[in-house]
Structures are given as structure tokens and as C-alpha cells.
Amino acid sequence: MRRLLILALVPLSVAACGGNDSKQTGGETPATTSTEAQSGYVNAGNQVCIASDKRIFKIGRLSRDPKGWARTATSARQALAEMKKVRPPAARADAFQQMLRYGNALALSIQEVHDSLVKKDYDTASAAQLAAGQIQDRVHKAARAAGLTFCQQSLTNWPA
């Protein structure tokens, strides 16, 4: 039986950073400069990643127990929902959408790890976990292109 490689999965980081309740559509209001809009976007996106990071950290080490993977998948979906509320400036929109697509793929891979562990299909779980790690790297790269500074990092060790 293969041992599962334990990954430090970012919430979308998953996958997916951003939690701004504003109704901005990427354009600025007359009183908002482009720099202010960019700063608000980065702050909102990074706050989603920070919250997601903290949720993932609280889950602890992942193992063959599917319960941790279920909680991780739920956290990834939550981070994606929060990130979808963030409105990037037009110059960052394509990279942001790419990050969301990779975040969704990451959440699906995490769910596949869980589902495979429930079935005790360790080979498939291991393959899905490896895929999740590779997709996570793509999420980080897309976050960098989207200008989300915190979202491009691996998990931070938050105090307990």
C-alpha cells in the first residue's frame, strides 16, 4: 500500500482568496483612484486567503482519515465562494479568473482524495493528492499574476 504524501494545502488558498462584499465591477467610482481600487482588491483577496489559511491550519495534519480531507474540501469550497465576491480591476481580471479556475480544480481534487479514502482506494487517493499539490502550485502562480500577495504563499504557521 502506498503511503499518502501529506500536503500543506492552501485554501485556495484554495484556492481562492478574496471576500469583499462591495458591488464593484472592476471599475472605479469617480472618487476612487486606480491605485486605491487596486489596493482594495488586493486587501480583499488577501483577507480571504488569510481566513482560509487559518481554517486549514486548524484542521491539522492530514492523514488517511477522510474526516480531515472532508473539512479541507469544505474549507476550499468556502474560500472559493468568498473569493468570487472579490472584484478585480480590469487589468487583473484574467489572472484572477484563472486563479478561480485552478482553485475550483484544487477543491475537486481535495474532494477526490476524501472520496477515495472513504472507499479505501489508496492509490487513487494518492494520485489525487499529488494532483492537488500540482494544482496548488498553479493557484499560487495565478495568484501572483493576479497581484494577490498573500495568496501566492504556502500556508503560514498560525499560533494555536
C-alpha cell at 33: 483612484
Residue 152 has what pLDDT? 83
Whether 25 has a pLDDT exceeding 90, the answer reads no
Mean per-residue pLDDT, 4-28: 38
Residue 8 has what pLDDT? 34
C-alpha cell at 62: 492530514
Confidence grade of residue 156 (pLDDT, cut at 50, 70, 90) = low
Q: DSSP E strands: which ranges in 4-159?
A: 12-13, 15
d(CA 15, CA 25): 21
- Answer for the pair 106, 136: CB distance below 8 angstroms, yes or no: yes
Task: Delimit the domains of the chain by residue range.
Answer: 33-152
The CATH architecture one would assign to domain 33-152 is Up-down Bundle (1.20)
Helix (H/G/I), strand (E/B), else coil: 14: strand
d(CA 159, CA 55): 12
d(CA 86, CA 93): 10
Mean per-residue pLDDT, 128-154: 92
Q: Lowest mean pLDDT: which of 13-17, 91-95, 131-135?
A: 13-17
Residue 10 has what pLDDT? 37
- Read off the amino acid at residue 125: A
Whether 123 has a pLDDT exceeding 70, the answer reads yes
Mean per-residue pLDDT, 30-43: 66
Mean per-residue pLDDT, 59-85: 95
